[in-house]
Structure 1
Amino acid sequence: MKTFSKKSILFPLLLACLIFSCKDLSELNENPNGVAPETVNPNLILPTILTEAARAYVNLGYQDIAGVVQHTQKDAWASGHNDYDWGGNQNWNPYYDILRNNDLLYKRSVELNLEFQQGVSLVMKSFVFGLITDLWGDAPYTDALKGEVGGTENILPAFDGQDKIYAGIIADLEKANTLLSKSKADYPGIVDNVDVYYGGNPEKWRKMANSLLLRYYMRLSEKQPDIAKAGIEKIVANAVQYPIITSESDDAAMSFPGNSDGDSWPANAVYDASGSNYRRIKMCATFVEKLQALKDPRLGIWANKVEVPLVVDATLPPKTDKIVDGKRYLSPDKVGTEQIDTDPEYVGLPPSFSALPSAYNLNPTPGQTSYNPHVSFLNDIYKAAKGPLLKARLISAAEVHFILAEAGLKGWAAGVAKDHYEAGIKASLNTWTVGSTYSAYIAQPAVAFNQTIKQVIEQKWIAGWTAATEAWFDYRRTGIPELHAGPAAKRDVLPVRFYYMQDELQINKANAESAVSKLEITVYSQADKGNSAWSKPWVVQGTKKPW
């Protein structure tokens, strides 16, 4: 910030007083092109909250968390994605920025008696706070958005325990369900096009609120099973009072306009002229092999076939390495002890394969700018800035059905588990344009319902493509799928949380250290001690999950 001497401002100030008859200086300081917080229309704030929350969510689920749950791996700039080398500086400030805007939205909506906007604000507050506590553990909640306290800016908020945060989220979603229970005609002030999720539809927002209730009740199922059971059973038993998302047409999703890098699908090859961000994301071998084993029709929607398959032929002369008819033929001596995959259609990158993952499968151009023709690239749709399948998906019908299938298998009154399992698969296939394959897919012995939670969570993991955060939280809660860290990973097991950032530990030292002290140190915490991605937050403490 620049500093100025008193003389430099005195004469202009006197001149201003002469010209404007010394009007109240607050009037002179008003920005004619700005909007004051105390007078802003809630509909001006809403689009920023919705778009920023959706972008934050898809950036997690398509980037590093997709690496954690082994949907994808990267073959360059890969250590954070593949190996969980997160460096202890994961920043929650962007999430709290969203919450501050959302708090203003709520306050202005209350002042103007706009119940639709209040309900939407409570849903988004719950979604973002849920994300924060799911990612980090204990976090500022009660005091986080209080601004000034006693005339002093509240820059050192206390951390609330996860149990308190989840309870607050559930209470806010209950309130949102009530606020959003009227027909659209009964709400003043709705502007359809500022609502980039649902176009101003209160009924769909209400379904989102109640579907998030199911998510967070299930999140508590290991720690507070009685609360989780009662909450889910209450929702299922009162369909009129608690409508939920049961059709993919009601999914909470946001498309991308694609007009600039900031409003486009992440890692696209339109605004990234080199295409490097798209190029270095590959399907993970764990995911590819599961999809192949199930003959899953979504694989071809999500990935391209290998450009140049490898063929190892023992009848070839020694030192043979040649391309014939689009295939690379190798004699066994050229392969040696290298780990390779000769699948002629889809090849994934093994998890945490090595410090140089770009070298996998005998890539002729390893390195940061590699182009590996022997590993499957993502489908070309992911090069685009926008498209009908390129959406940030915050919660879906598939997820809701899988939650209810799991609840049913736990013996809770949540409907028929088999019906929900099959509906979850069908919703996901429909979402990815392969709904016509449902009958053949579900008829396979490996897909047909076998009455196990393992099968439900694995299908939920598959359906979570590009929304991998929920798959991570499910894995942490259940240990399913049975994912294993690779040889180059920072630890021998998958992480269970984000690190508290160093700024928080230094500036808000006492409160942050108190939160760290409540984390359960494990054998994998190692030198990071309490503030480790392998120290367990409350939600998994005492559960013996996921490891």
Structure 2
Amino acid sequence: MNILFKKNTVILVLFLSLFFSCKDLTDLNVNPNGVQPETVNPNLIMPTVLSETAKAFVNLGFQDIAGVVQHTQKDAWFNGHNDYDWGGDQSWTSYYDLLRNNDLLYQRSVALNMDYQQGVALVMKSMIFGLITDLWGDAPYTSALKGEQGGVDFIAPKYDDQGAIYSGILSDLDKAATLLSKPKSAYSSIVEAADLYYAGDPTKWRKLANSLKLRYFMRISAKQPDIAKAGIEKIVADPTQYPIIDDASADATMAYVGNNSGDAWPSNTVFDISGSNYRRIKMSATLVKPMQATNDPRLAIWAKKVEIPLKVDATLPAGTDKIVSGVRYLSPDKVGTTQIDTDPNYVGLPPSVSQLPSGYNFNPTPGQTSVNPHVSYLNEIYMQAKGTLLKARLVSAAEVQFILAEAAQKGWAAGDAKTRYEAGVKASLTAWGLTSSYATFIAQKGVAYDGTLAQLIGQKWVASWTSATEAWFDYRRTGLPALTAGPAAKRKALPLRFYYMRDELNLNKTNSGAAVEKLETTVNSQSDGKNSAWSKPWLVQGTGKPW
């Protein structure tokens, strides 16, 4: 038996040796249960690119950037959100991971002559690279995504100037709009379920491409006004050739599915059983007060009324602190000089109010797990995992109309500023199911068009709810709304950019160092050095904005 076993073993080894010597090792290294990049269908990649990009925008616009532009504040684990204490190590790795997936989508679409998928990939490339340069400034662009090609320039990629990145983005959006200019019937490879934004509608994608061009033309308008003016006027002059997102039905949005924590609205209490993500977020007083002043119907959609209003009554005996019929009554001596908000309906948390924001407005249970009945929570829709209003909103008709209204105010041929402004207000109300409230709201004092940029940007700021990143970039460019940092904030001004992360500074030292040197220090950035959230990137250097 031993002899037979040895003979069989020798024969098996010889057979395997001959087999492996004749077979390409790359063929043997194929996962039979996976999809190879060289053969993957672009429609299999598209949902990941679209969903992860949409979530990335919400994670900014509903989270810490909503704190920067004072849409919301947090009353626990608040330092980054309220105080801009970002720690100096903000990573762009996840964005470049998205770009790598998107590049595979594009390359496979080119190989298979899929024009629709190519167009979508170029739009997404523009959107993600736009976000990176908007947040950081100079960044790897032309040398990015090429690490597998080898060479030091790809492993440690060079940084492109911020202006050059915007130029490349605008060029890619031109290409995308051309690729997406055919009727849907002319494309043979569309899978509607793979397109989480527009269900395979190339016309809407073409509108998105042109609308993003408007966004970036306005972005560079202070630095390159002639380019911005010519670009916007060209789009407006020929709506047939350059269709745009002109009503809320064409907004670039993604609904949350709500099947698990990964595809549910981030503040939901369905998968976060503790409810802490929801409970910690409060409306900011900076947003609540102007919305109250104009009887803005969106406030009731976004926020809950305060659970227990406060009332200071001078007729009460000293030392009074009691709840009667759902109202907490305080005698003046109990309040003293402490800041207090006695509005009976909505109470916002002031920006960076203190080192203990959970104690605001005489909350009886301050602390990291506090429940504050005297400050407005978000509406209960934000406790859900999904819902008709729980959408990532990447580009909206409201934003587009406000951009054109601003262009018209500059004297550019972009239509009538008042008409564009009113269309922006209406588009925002429509997106939140409030079209019937438009006529009354637009007539309100402070909303009725007065021709000022402050009013226009103010309404655009409100309309950017859950998409606050755009409001931050508008503030940086215009200084509007006139937001001020709260008393406990890390600096006495709002930040302007993200820090380059430490790994990049260490591993790509030469290129990142050159980018840092091009930043402009300010009075608020001096203690950080040039790589500061308060240093000015190219986009705002020399503009005198925002401060």
Same fold (TM over 0.5): yes
Once the two structures are TM-superposed, the CA of residue 333 in structure 1 deviates from its matched residue by: 1.2
Match of 1:522 in 2: 522
Match of 1:175 in 2: 175
Counterpart of 1:237, as a letter, is A
Once the two structures are TM-superposed, the CA of residue 381 in structure 1 deviates from its matched residue by: 0.1
Match of 1:361 in 2: 361
CA distance in 1: counterparts of 2:108 and 2:498, whole angstroms: 33
CA distance in 2: counterparts of 1:282 and 1:73, whole angstroms: 5
Residue correspondence of structure 1 range 310-325 to structure 2 within 5 A: 310-325=310-325
Once the two structures are TM-superposed, the CA of residue 20 in structure 1 deviates from its matched residue by: 5.1
1:388-427 alpha-carbon deviations (Å, 9 max, x no partner):
0000000000000000000000000001111110010001
Counterpart of 2:473, as a letter, is F
Once the two structures are TM-superposed, the CA of residue 335 in structure 1 deviates from its matched residue by: 1.2
CA distance in 2: counterparts of 1:112 and 1:184, whole angstroms: 18
CA distance in 2: counterparts of 1:59 and 1:297, whole angstroms: 25
Gaps of 5+ in 1: 1-10
Match of 1:197 in 2: 197
Once the two structures are TM-superposed, the CA of residue 371 in structure 1 deviates from its matched residue by: 0.1
Match of 2:107 in 1: 107
1:35-92 alpha-carbon deviations (Å, 9 max, x no partner):
1111111011000000010000011000000000000000000000000000011110
Residue correspondence of structure 1 range 393-404 to structure 2 within 5 A: 393-404=393-404
Return 328-337 or 495-504, whichever deviates more.
Answer: 328-337
Once the two structures are TM-superposed, the CA of residue 242 in structure 1 deviates from its matched residue by: 0.4
1:169-213 alpha-carbon deviations (Å, 9 max, x no partner):
000000111000000111121100000000000000000000000
CA distance in 1: counterparts of 2:473 and 2:13, whole angstroms: 62
Residue correspondence of structure 1 range 175-254 to structure 2 within 5 A: 175-254=175-254
Once the two structures are TM-superposed, the CA of residue 155 in structure 1 deviates from its matched residue by: 1.8
Counterpart of 2:105, as a letter, is L
Q: State the secondary structure of the residue aligned to 1:500.
A: coil
Match of 2:450 in 1: 450
CA contact (8 A) 2:143 2:153 kept: no
1:100-124 alpha-carbon deviations (Å, 9 max, x no partner):
0111111110110000000000000
Residue correspondence of structure 1 range 146-545 to structure 2 within 5 A: 146-149=146-149, 154-545=154-545
Q: 1:153 to 1:409 in 2, by over 3 A?
A: closer
CA distance in 2: counterparts of 1:126 and 1:289, whole angstroms: 36
Q: 1:25 to 1:424 in 2, by over 3 A?
A: same
Match of 2:61 in 1: 61
1:143-172 alpha-carbon deviations (Å, 9 max, x no partner):
001233456792200000110000000000
Counterpart of 1:472, as a letter, is W
Match of 2:116 in 1: 116
CA distance in 2: counterparts of 1:153 and 1:504, whole angstroms: 14
CA distance in 2: counterparts of 1:295 and 1:362, whole angstroms: 27
- TM, length-normalised to structure 1: 0.96
CA distance in 2: counterparts of 1:17 and 1:420, whole angstroms: 74
CA contact (8 A) 2:355 2:488 kept: yes
CA distance in 2: counterparts of 1:20 and 1:168, whole angstroms: 50
CA distance in 1: counterparts of 2:60 and 2:445, whole angstroms: 33
Match of 1:3 in 2: none
CA distance in 1: counterparts of 2:500 and 2:193, whole angstroms: 37
Match of 1:133 in 2: 133
Once the two structures are TM-superposed, the CA of residue 294 in structure 1 deviates from its matched residue by: 1.1
Counterpart of 1:240, as a letter, is T
Once the two structures are TM-superposed, the CA of residue 330 in structure 1 deviates from its matched residue by: 0.8
Once the two structures are TM-superposed, the CA of residue 18 in structure 1 deviates from its matched residue by: 5.5
CA distance in 2: counterparts of 1:322 and 1:136, whole angstroms: 50
Q: 1:16 to 1:82 in 2, by over 3 A?
A: farther
Counterpart of 2:69, as a letter, is V
Runs of 4+ in structure 1 off by over 4 angstroms are 13-16, 18-22, 150-153
Q: 1:323 to 1:30 in 2, by over 3 A?
A: same
CA distance in 2: counterparts of 1:530 and 1:386, whole angstroms: 42
CA distance in 2: counterparts of 1:457 and 1:27, whole angstroms: 58
CA distance in 1: counterparts of 2:382 and 2:239, whole angstroms: 37
Residue correspondence of structure 1 range 34-73 to structure 2 within 5 A: 34-73=34-73
Aligned residues: 536
Match of 1:17 in 2: 16
Q: State the secondary structure of the residue aligned to 2:411.
A: coil
Q: State the secondary structure of the residue aligned to 2:155.
A: coil
CA contact (8 A) 2:404 2:415 kept: yes
Once the two structures are TM-superposed, the CA of residue 446 in structure 1 deviates from its matched residue by: 1.3
Q: 1:514 to 1:364 in 2, by over 3 A?
A: same
CA contact (8 A) 2:298 2:429 kept: yes
CA distance in 2: counterparts of 1:144 and 1:318, whole angstroms: 68
Counterpart of 2:76, as a letter, is A
Match of 2:143 in 1: 143
State the identity as a percent: 70
Once the two structures are TM-superposed, the CA of residue 322 in structure 1 deviates from its matched residue by: 0.7
CA distance in 1: counterparts of 2:362 and 2:297, whole angstroms: 28
CA contact (8 A) 2:294 2:445 kept: no
CA distance in 2: counterparts of 1:195 and 1:275, whole angstroms: 32
Counterpart of 1:105, as a letter, is L
CA distance in 2: counterparts of 1:27 and 1:220, whole angstroms: 50
CA distance in 1: counterparts of 2:447 and 2:152, whole angstroms: 59
CA distance in 1: counterparts of 2:490 and 2:153, whole angstroms: 39
Cα RMSD of the aligned pairs, angstroms, is: 1.4
CA distance in 1: counterparts of 2:374 and 2:359, whole angstroms: 10
CA distance in 2: counterparts of 1:455 and 1:19, whole angstroms: 78
Once the two structures are TM-superposed, the CA of residue 334 in structure 1 deviates from its matched residue by: 1.2
CA distance in 2: counterparts of 1:314 and 1:152, whole angstroms: 74
- TM, length-normalised to structure 2: 0.96
Match of 2:90 in 1: 90
Q: State the secondary structure of the residue aligned to 1:154.
A: helix
Once the two structures are TM-superposed, the CA of residue 351 in structure 1 deviates from its matched residue by: 0.2
Q: 1:468 to 1:15 in 2, by over 3 A?
A: farther
Counterpart of 2:249, as a letter, is S
CA distance in 1: counterparts of 2:14 and 2:329, whole angstroms: 84
CA distance in 1: counterparts of 2:263 and 2:282, whole angstroms: 23
Counterpart of 1:287, as a letter, is L
Q: State the secondary structure of the residue aligned to 1:148.
A: helix
Return 262-271 or 53-62, whichever deviates more.
Answer: 262-271
CA contact (8 A) 2:68 2:84 kept: yes
Match of 1:7 in 2: none
Return 439-448 or 21-30, whichever deviates more.
Answer: 21-30
Gaps of 5+ in 2: 1-9
Once the two structures are TM-superposed, the CA of residue 445 in structure 1 deviates from its matched residue by: 2.5
CA distance in 1: counterparts of 2:41 and 2:58, whole angstroms: 28
Counterpart of 2:357, as a letter, is P
Q: State the secondary structure of the residue aligned to 2:527.
A: helix
Once the two structures are TM-superposed, the CA of residue 512 in structure 1 deviates from its matched residue by: 0.4
